[in-house]
Chains A and B, each alone.
Chain A
Amino acid sequence: MENIFVNISGSIRELIGVLGLPPLFNEAVMITVKVTGILLFIVLNALWLVYMERKVAGYIQCRYGPNRVGPKGLLQTAADISKLISKEIIIPSGADKILFLLAPVLIFTPPLMVFMVVPFGQNMAAVDLNIGVFYFLAVASLSTVIFWIAGWASNNKYSLLGGMRVVAQMISYELPMVLAVLGVVMITGTLNMSDIVRAQENLWFIFAQPVAFLIYFIAGVAECNRVPFDLTEGESEIVAGPFTEYSGMGFALFFLAEYTNVMLVSFMAATLFLGGWLAPFGLTIIPGWAWMLIKVYIMIFLFMWLRWTYPRVRVDQLMGFGWKVLVPLSLANIFITGVAIKVLDKMGW
């Protein structure tokens, strides 16, 4: 069980190898297979997360949530998506047509690119990149540009305000996030995600770096534009922010991208702080990739719990919190981590 996916991948490789084609072709096929696998995983998970969110919301709000379409309402999201696909895509007059249509297409790209380096289990990263953490931080923030494109291209004032908010928010929260992750990198001395997971064999970094985890979590919520930091969408203020003018599938893609981002941030949290695929209490009966998923889902549940409990902060409060609290705190964390590493090193740990 532990190596089921690695074995599948190995056997596919052998299968193509038999054909005797040039190695470059073999690699290309392998990458395609992996990308397709990840894409399927992401899309199915995003669909499931929409359903899960609605059920969690129902549970928190003393109601049932979807329970009509399919058993226990399981097919609700599928029904919603098929409805959205069948809807007309309305392009507002005065909108920048190309950019308007490009934004929802592009929105899936950054998370998908990051998922390539996520170690789903032992030896289960599609690309075992040696600067994985750096790559994650660099690529994940690209989605800011896409939100801004959507906000700008819609030619709508609410969208523009939403776009402005995205940029302001991302700049304020990218920084503490990077600084928080730096604490982990300082301990491990590597940017490779698989190595970071292996370094947590004895102690998960949530215990070694609790402050960094907290900062990462808060910044992660802001990264995903979720309550209490969902200023971008802020439905009671600016209707739907950059998505205001989108209809049909364009809207659905943004919607699914939000869940993909949640998944991504949770995967990174599990990898960097919760010991990735490592089993706690020596429970190795459950395979590593399953542990990874369990940890990810705990994180996702936390996100949802937060969303259905808290109101939204105001735009200036959000930035004030980012710059005045999180950045100094993460800098202090780095300082303390640095000193502690040196001292422990001298003591011969």
Chain B
Amino acid sequence: MLRTEEFTLNMGPQHPATHGVLRLILHLDGETIVKVEPVVGYLHRGIEKLAEARTYTQVIPYTDRLDYLAAMLNNLGYVQAVEKLMGIEIPERAEYIRIIVSEMSRIASHCIAVGTYALDLGGFTGFMYPFREREKLMDMFEMISGSRMTHSYMRIGGVAADLPEEFYPAIKKFLKEFPSCVDEYDGLITGNEIFQARTKGVGVLSQEKAVQYSISGPTLRGSGVNYDLRKARPYGIYDRFDFEVPVGEKGDCFDRYYCRIQEMRQSHRIIEQALEQLEELPGGPVMAKVPKVLKPPKGEVYHEIEGAKGILGYYVVSDGTTKPYRVHIRRPSFINLDLLDEMCRGWKIADVVAILGSIDIVLGEVDC
């Protein structure tokens, strides 16, 4: 008797398109997906537990290693959470510097998202172009903090150091060039007929589902929900800048991708404004007066910011000692990964790669 059988394919943890060490167990009917089971934990380092044995300042380098593609944003979330707990007001100059570096980080992260997405769909050149811009950003991060990826630049009460002199011409040059670079991505990737055929209508995530599962970031906005913490509940000094929140319509892979492209343009606008306002400020300290040994009062705090992948939240519990009693991190990549199975069912193997790429996860954050 002829019969057909379901076929199980183990995709990952070593696979070119799972963006790290994600393992997907695919149940296939021919090439069609019946079910996807994501298996996480291959990059688990126990950061939350490690934080309990470190002082508040010593936790900062660990946050770099969560979403290592947007390390500044992770720093920002943590230090703002602790500042909220301790009630520290930070100097205005530091606020501006924080905005500039975190938006740069967002652009760098989206550059990777866009580039690797092109690579996932088989377009190698689309991968190289965004990396070119990211490289410039990395150079600037190196000027600021001395390291390219894991910056640990922010401190509880401000930032580690003022921006160096050579940073200003570099960022101005970058700001001048960047819009035309995004146009280039549009020409090379967005406008491509095959790219659109591969992404439009694929992996649709409905507005209700996205909200129900507390999806956030460009993945949520691609589904047409206008929710960006920078606008909805401005933290830091985001209320001083004029920018828009790009929103998709259908919630397919293309909308999620295109949201990121547009967000890069918006981040560019924010940096431009912040830099202008920063240069008008008189020079001053970049650190608030905080004690050498940090002892936050007993209590707990939850603070969330708009990370590159979605809403990044830090829950910090203090028992009044120098070390946090508990640190829990709401990692957007982990939560966004929830719906992968539902989005993939009925599509082909190639679409799993397309859908996973459009969610834009980073495994350092998923596994924590």
Residues of A within 8 A of B (CB): 57, 60-63, 157-158, 161, 164, 227-228, 230-231, 234-239, 308-317
Contacts and interface: CB of A to CB of B under 8 A. Distances in A.
Nearest to B196: A311
Contact of A238 (B121, B188, B192, B349): B349
A169 B275 CA distance: 54
B128 A310 contact: no
Interface in B319-368: 348-351, 353
Given A236-B16, A313-B198, A63 B350 contact: no
B350 A311 contact: no
B9 A310 contact: no
A164 B197 CA distance: 22
Q: Name the residue among A61, A63, A164, A317 with the largest chain B CB count within 10 angstroms.
A: A61
Contacts of B350: 231, 234, 237, 312, 314-315
Contact of B119 (A164, A234, A236): A236
Nearest to B349: A237
A317 B194 CA distance: 10
B132 A62 contact: yes
Given A236-B119, A308-B125, A311-B118, A317 B7 contact: no
A315 B15 CA distance: 20
A236 B353 contact: yes
A161 B192 CA distance: 27
B125 A61 contact: yes
Interface string B8-48: 01100001110000000000000100000000000000000
A310 B123 contact: yes
Contacts of B188: 309
B142 to A, nearest CB: 20
Given A157-B9, A314-B348, A315-B31, A237 B353 contact: yes
28 contacts: A57-B125, A61-B124, A61-B125, A62-B132, A157-B7, A157-B9, A158-B9, A227-B122, A227-B123, A228-B194, A234-B350, A236-B16, A236-B353, A237-B349, A237-B350, A239-B16, A309-B125, A309-B188, A309-B192, A311-B118, A311-B189, A311-B192, A311-B198, A312-B121, A313-B194, A314-B351, A315-B31, A317-B197
Contacts, number: 83
Closest 3 pairs between A and B when the two form their complex, measured CB to CB: A312-B122, A311-B123, A311-B121
B22 to A, nearest CB: 14
Contacts of B124: 57, 61, 308
B258 to A, nearest CB: 15
Contacts of A312: 121-123, 194, 198, 350
A313 B16 contact: no
B15 A239 contact: yes
B33 to A, nearest CB: 12
Contact of B120 (A63, A236, A314, A315): A236
Interface in B180-224: 188-189, 192, 194-195, 197-198
Interface residues of B, number: 31
A3 to B, nearest CB: 43
Contacts of A161: 9, 31, 349
B128 A62 contact: yes
Contacts of A157: 7, 9-10
B310 interface: no
A99 B10 CA distance: 25
A188 B175 CA distance: 60
Contacts of B198: 311-314, 317
Contacts of A315: 31, 348, 350
Interface of B: 7, 9-10, 15-17, 31, 118-126, 128-129, 132, 188-189, 192, 194-195, 197-198, 348-351, 353
A315 B30 CA distance: 12
B7 A311 contact: no
Contacts of B195: 311
Contacts of A63: 128
A41 B192 CA distance: 37
Nearest to A314: B350
B348 A316 contact: yes
Contacts of A164: 31
A310 B348 contact: no
Given A236-B17, A310-B192, 19 more contacts: A57-B124, A60-B125, A61-B129, A161-B349, A228-B194, A235-B122, A237-B350, A239-B16, A309-B125, A309-B192, A310-B123, A310-B194, A311-B118, A311-B121, A311-B123, A311-B192, A311-B198, A312-B121, A313-B197
Contacts of B129: 61-62
A311 B117 CA distance: 10
A227 B31 CA distance: 20
Contacts of B120: 236
A230 B121 CA distance: 11
A109 B7 CA distance: 34
Nearest to B354: A314
Nearest to B132: A62
Contacts of A62: 128-129, 132
A235 B31 CA distance: 16
Q: Name the residue among B122, B128, B198, B349 with the largest chain A CB count within 10 angstroms.
A: B122
A53 B192 CA distance: 22
Contact of B194 (A235, A238, A308, A311): A311
B205 to A, nearest CB: 19
Contacts of B348: 314-316
Contacts of A239: 15-16
A310 B128 CA distance: 13
